[in-house]
Amino acid sequence: MIDLLLAWNDERHLAEPLAAALEVPLREIERHAFPDGETRLRLPPQLPPRVAMLRGLQQPNDKLAELMILAPAARELGAATLTLVCPYLAYMRQDMAFTPGEAVSQRHIGQALAAWFDAVVTVDPHLHRVATMDEVLPGRRGLALSAAPLLGAWAARHARQPLLLGPDEEAAPWVRSAALQQGLDHGTCIKQRSGDRDVLVALPELDFRGREVVLIDDVASTGRTLCVTAAALFERGAAAVDVAVTHALFVGDAVEQLARAGVRHVWSSDSVRHASNVVSLVPLLADALRAG
């Protein structure tokens, strides 16, 4: 359990209901940006022993610099135990050096967070070559929650006997978790990516004719994979295609591109504030923080 929740004003959509669910005070971190790009940060002058800091890491670079400053400042002000509540955890994709000389960002960001925080709670991090968040945070406690069952339940209520489809084989356990609790049909595609926006998708050998298909994934950024998959599904006779994702990054005109591709609905959790948010992560996060 925690004694206090700290958050930035752009996290209020999660911070206020989370603090209410935990029945703890919420205090805002004051932030002032100087013209030269530096930032002045201010915390409450006295902190209780058990503090959680809520910060999603979409658009992560400035936020990471602020966490680097704030974590030791919080300890100086009285926080003995410091937990980062990070609904979207960036830099998890690069979990190996794919070409010589590449920095393995997952490893190095994990080491930095482990130096700053006693524990990190996140949701559906992009972990494919490590089994748990504990491996990402050496010597610290890492907890990875999942919105997959919540999104599966939403899809079951808002589409007609939907078939859940993952964009690649790495998503198979996640899609299976979303589907099985609702007794839904499911499958995964095979994806080949040659660039940020260059994607080839092979559908599984399933009968999509007349089916309402929900493309379900952990994160959507450019939306290119989802667009290509939707087009292939319509070619195979799908009656409708919806999209459900945990982290709605949706950069640029991604949502407009999905609409042009024929996607009917876009649904997401509120890990990242977006017009598509339909599923709240507050109960998941509150239960995790209560358990300590």
pLDDT digit string (tens) for the chain, length 292 residues: 999 999 999 999 999 999 999 999 999 999 999 999 999 999 999 999 999 999 999 999 999 999 999 999 999 999 999 999 999 999 998 777 788 999 999 999 999 999 999 999 999 998 877 778 988 999 999 999 999 999 999 999 999 999 999 988 878 888 998 998 899 999 999 877 655 556 688 999 999 999 999 999 999 999 999 999 999 999 999 999 999 999 999 999 999 999 999 999 999 999 999 999 999 999 999 999 999 7
User: pTM here?
Assistant: 0.93
- Exposed, middle or buried: residue 6 (CB in 10 Å: 0-12, 13-18, 19+)? buried
Structure tokens at 99: 């070409």
Question: Which residues, in sequence order, are bridge partners of residue 49?
Answer: none
In 3D space, the residue among 266, 197, 265, 187 whose CA is nearest the CA of residue 228 turns out to be 197
Active-site pick, 107, 191, 224, 247: 191
**Eight-state DSSP code of residue 259:** H
Q: Are 87 and 277 in contact (CB under 8 A)?
A: no
d(Cα 64, Cα 61) in Å, to the nearest integer? 5
Q: What is the pLDDT of residue 143?
A: 96
Structure tokens at 40: 């002045």
In 3D space, the residue among 8, 25, 18 whose CA is nearest the CA of residue 145 turns out to be 18
User: Residue 130: how many CA atoms within 13 Å on its side-chain side?
Assistant: 21
The answer to whether 191 is a known catalytic residue is: yes
d(Cα 49, Cα 82) in Å, to the nearest integer? 8
3-state helix, strand, coil in the chain (%, to 5): 35, 25, 40
Q: Position 85: which residue type?
A: V
- Exposed, middle or buried: residue 182 (CB in 10 Å: 0-12, 13-18, 19+)? middle
